[in-house]
Amino acid sequence: MTNLWKYLVYPPVSVSDEKLRRSFASKWVVVTGATSGIGEALTLRLIHAKANLYLISRNEQKLQLLCQKAKENGCEASYAAIDLRQRDELDTMCAQLRDSLPAVSYLFCNAGKSIHRTISDSIGRMHDYDRTMDLNFRSTVALSLALMPSLKMAGGRIVYTSSVSSRYPFVPGWSAYHASKCAANSWCRTARREYKRLGVKVQLAYMPLVHTPMSDVNENYRNMPAYSADEAACILLRLATSGKFFYKPWWAI
Ligand SMILES: NC(=O)c1ccc[n+]([C@@H]2O[C@H](COP(=O)([O-])OP(=O)(O)OC[C@H]3O[C@@H](n4cnc5c(N)ncnc54)[C@H](OP(=O)(O)O)[C@@H]3O)[C@@H](O)[C@H]2O)c1
């Protein structure tokens, strides 16, 4: 029964190596949140497809390992080990990227953080809202603005990892997370229309539950059927190679 449920709600997703090579080989791809979960699975797929990578997260050791792996596979690779919530660090990195990266074909804005806390438990914790907004929303905007000339040069794409829960009636406890994801959704919807004339595509993945270190913190989620990180990476890659504006699971209304 559990397997049937998983199969229906989370139908298998895959993407062929051949298709990925055709779309990504030798293209510059920027990935935020590359060191864990969905972003790490995405990075491994991109290495296999021989993309050139610029990886962004905080865990420098992991970033180094991934870049080493990419170079061993014949890709160019570089990284920035930064906390995307720190505005000064983000500004400095954006300025460097503007100057150093050639045409960028894909920007995957995937780094994210979820917080489960009710509003009444958030008194004195305004930083919960600042941190989720800075990471889930503001860093996406900052990177998109900084890379716009490079994206325009390549006729590139911005792909944002949103959450399917941002399309549902909101449940208690997720005010910070949902507010930040909805802000990013709204920005992407506007950017999609404005950037069209520049030849840059903006795409949104309303991701359902995925087993990653982020979701598995929650015991209820840990035991529920969900996509694997690699399946979620395939969803992002399929979206990024399609003409669609967004991905959502078939059951999401
Ligand atoms: N898992 C799910 O069920 C699910 C469902 C819907 C949407 N999503 C979205 O999917 C995206 C990826 O999540 P995940 O589940 O793969 O989580 P994850 O395994 O916790 O990975 C999060 C990534 O973001 C990076 N990150 C976190 N805080 C950061 C910061 N302050 N500065 C820079 N990088 C930071 C982490 O790297 P470092 O720790 O090295 O910085 C890590 O690489 C998120 O945007 C999340 O909202 C997930």
Q: Give the residue, by CA position, lying nearest to ligand 1 atom 14.
A: 37
Q: What mean pLDDT comes out for the span 37-45? A: 98
Query: Which pTM does this prediction carry?
Result: 0.97
Q: What mean pLDDT comes out for the span 117-139? A: 97
Give the residue from 103, 67, 108, 105 showing the smallest Cα distance to 233.
Answer: 108
Contact yes or no for 54/34 (Cβ under 8 A): no
Which residues, other chains included, contact 185 with Cβ-Cβ below 8 Å and sequence gap of 6+? 160, 162, 166, 204
pLDDT at 183: 98
The count of other CB atoms within 10 Å of the CB of residue 53 is 24
Residues with beta carbon inside 6 Å of ligand 1? 33-39, 57-59, 83-85, 110-114, 135, 161, 163, 207, 209-210, 212-215
Which residues, other chains included, contact 172 with Cβ-Cβ below 8 Å and sequence gap of 6+? 118
Residue type, 116: H
Tell me how far the alpha carbon of residue 72 lies from the centroid of ligand 1, in angstroms: 26
Q: What mean pLDDT comes out for the span 118-135? A: 97
Domain coordinates of the chain in residue numbers? 2-247
**Rounded mean pLDDT of the chain?**
96
Q: Give the residue, by CA position, lying nearest to ligand 1 atom 10.
A: 161
How far apart CA 189 and CA 133 sit, in angstroms, is: 17
Structure tokens at 247: 């991905």
Which residues, other chains included, contact 180 with Cβ-Cβ below 8 Å and sequence gap of 6+? 132, 133, 135, 136, 137
Which H or E element spans position 54?
A: strand 52-57
Tell me how far the alpha carbon of residue 105 lies from the centroid of ligand 1, in angstroms: 22
Banded model confidence at residue 4, pLDDT cuts 50, 70, 90: confident
Residue type, 24: F
The helix/strand/coil state of 211 is strand
Q: In a mutational test of the pocket of ligand 1, which residue from 32, 58, 59, 108 has the highest number of ligand atoms less than 8 Å from its CB?
A: 58
Give the residue from 168, 169, 172, 170 showing the smallest Cα distance to 208.
Answer: 168
Banded model confidence at residue 162, pLDDT cuts 50, 70, 90: very high
Ligand 1 closest atom vs CA 114: 47
Give the residue from 236, 152, 137 showing the smallest Cα distance to 201.
Answer: 152
Banded model confidence at residue 170, pLDDT cuts 50, 70, 90: confident
In this structure, which topology does domain 2-247 adopt according to CATH?
A: Rossmann fold (3.40.50)
pLDDT at 18: 96
